[in-house]
Amino acid sequence: MRLVIAAAAALLLGAAGVAHAAPTTPLPVPYNFPANLGNQLADPAGSPPGTNDWSCRPSTAHPDPVVLVHGGFASPQVEWGTLGPLLHNAGYCVYALAWGGDPLPAPFTSFGGYRSVKTVGGPELSTFVQRVLQSTGARKVSLVSHSFGSLVDAYYTRYLGGADHVSAVISLAGLYRGVTVPESMRVNPPGCAVCTEPLAGSELVRAINAGGNPYLPGIRYTNVVTQYDDTVSPYTSGLVPGRPGQQVTNIVVQQGCPQDWSNHQAIIVTRRTGAFVRNALDPAHPVPVPCETVIPSYGGVR
């Protein structure tokens, strides 16, 4: 399955108060995917820079902590080396969940995203969000996911009570409608839920879209995709339209920036995506959205 192969190959190759989230010295923000792989190799069990500071207290400007949910066959270090420090520098309390895995030796420690969303991923996200709320004193969180992580967010909010604790959901290269994979390319090794649950028409995908789409009242949704996605097919799987009264914004990164050649990996490390995420988290105070040349599987070039 392309979702499995692409992610695995990428790894092998390469309550209001004083806001602790606002750094005195900004953290460096790398805008390339190899830097994320370097984080994984250097500290496999660690957290991405700027994340999982359990002493952080949200500011009045950014009262909702941000929880980052990685995709299939990935880890926090592999995926959030850009958005972690970027959002931290912007003044957010940021947390990165490791979900859906089993204890593995280095450098695959904290590597997951291959177990069932229904029985493992969703419940783990629920537990993690409760810990974040208790630690920060916040009432709600915002969720930012990549790829298979979009299904974790959707299942948690719809079926595990997450709607009461979530203000915004932002999916990057999401797959709400599932992916289309030819029968000849499908694999189903034991314990690999990521090999079957994301497929279009699967039980999980049908459950998430019950009633017509994955969206719930009271939550703002922003979906950011790339037309050059080499893993989610079709790339429009993450662009489910909303119905009247639902708060849904759908974005294709190439609209207004044709030189953005982001693929499935690069979309999570670009300045353009970072700006879209910041604006989705705080629509009342938008930042400029840059346009730059993006190399697939690498990132931005200036």
Is the pLDDT score of 302 beyond 70? yes
pTM: 0.91
Under the banding of pLDDT at 50, 70 and 90, the label for residue 2 is very low
pLDDT, tens digit, 9 for 90 and up, residues 100-112: 999 899 999 999 9
End-to-end CA distance of the chain: 34
Under the banding of pLDDT at 50, 70 and 90, the label for residue 5 is very low
Q: Which residues partner with 66 through β-bridges?
A: 94, 142
Is the pLDDT score of 21 beyond 50? no
Residue bearing tokens 């030796």: 105
Q: Which two tokens stand for residue 89?
A: 């520098």
The burial class, CB within 10 Å (0-12 / 13-18 / 19+), for 35 is middle
Residue bearing tokens 């993450």: 238
The mean pLDDT of 53-69, rounded to a whole number, is 98
Check if the beta carbon of residue 88 is closer than 8 Å to that of residue 172: no
Q: At what angle do helices 122-136 and 149-159 cross, to 10 degrees?
A: 70
Task: Return d(Cα 93, Cα 98) in angstroms, integer.
Answer: 17
Instruction: Tell me which DSSP letter residue 81 carries.
Output: T
Q: What is the pLDDT of residue 185?
A: 63
Task: Return d(Cα 84, Cα 99) in angstroms, integer.
Answer: 17
- Among 16-25, 35-44, 139-148, top mean pLDDT goes to 139-148
What is the chain's mean pLDDT, rounded?
A: 91
Number of independent structural domains in the chain: 1
Q: What is the pLDDT of residue 124?
A: 98
Tallying the residues shown for the chain, one arrives at: 302
The mean pLDDT of 236-262, rounded to a whole number, is 97
Is the pLDDT score of 23 beyond 80? no
How many whole angstroms from its chain centre is CA 12?
21
Q: What is the CATH number of the domain that holds 206?
A: 3.40.50.1820
Q: What is the pLDDT of residue 189?
A: 75
19-23, 111-115, 278-282: lowest mean pLDDT where? 19-23
Q: Which residue has the higher pLDDT, 191 or 97?
A: 97
Q: What is the pLDDT of residue 103?
A: 87
The mean pLDDT of 209-223, rounded to a whole number, is 97
Q: Which two tokens stand for residue 65?
A: 């902590």
Check if the beta carbon of residue 66 is closer than 8 Å to that of residue 50: no
Is the pLDDT score of 51 beyond 90? yes
pLDDT, tens digit, 9 for 90 and up, residues 151-172: 999 999 999 999 999 999 999 9
DSSP alpha helix (H) spans, the chain: 2-12, 33-42, 76-79, 83-89, 122-136, 149-159, 203-208, 271-281
Range of the domain at 74: 2-301
Is the pLDDT score of 242 beyond 80? yes
Q: What is the pLDDT of residue 9?
A: 39
Residue bearing tokens 């790398």: 30
Task: Return d(Cα 248, Cα 124) in angstroms, integer.
Answer: 26
Under the banding of pLDDT at 50, 70 and 90, the label for residue 190 is confident
The mean pLDDT of 176-199, rounded to a whole number, is 84
Under the banding of pLDDT at 50, 70 and 90, the label for residue 25 is confident
Is the pLDDT score of 59 beyond 60? yes
The burial class, CB within 10 Å (0-12 / 13-18 / 19+), for 245 is exposed
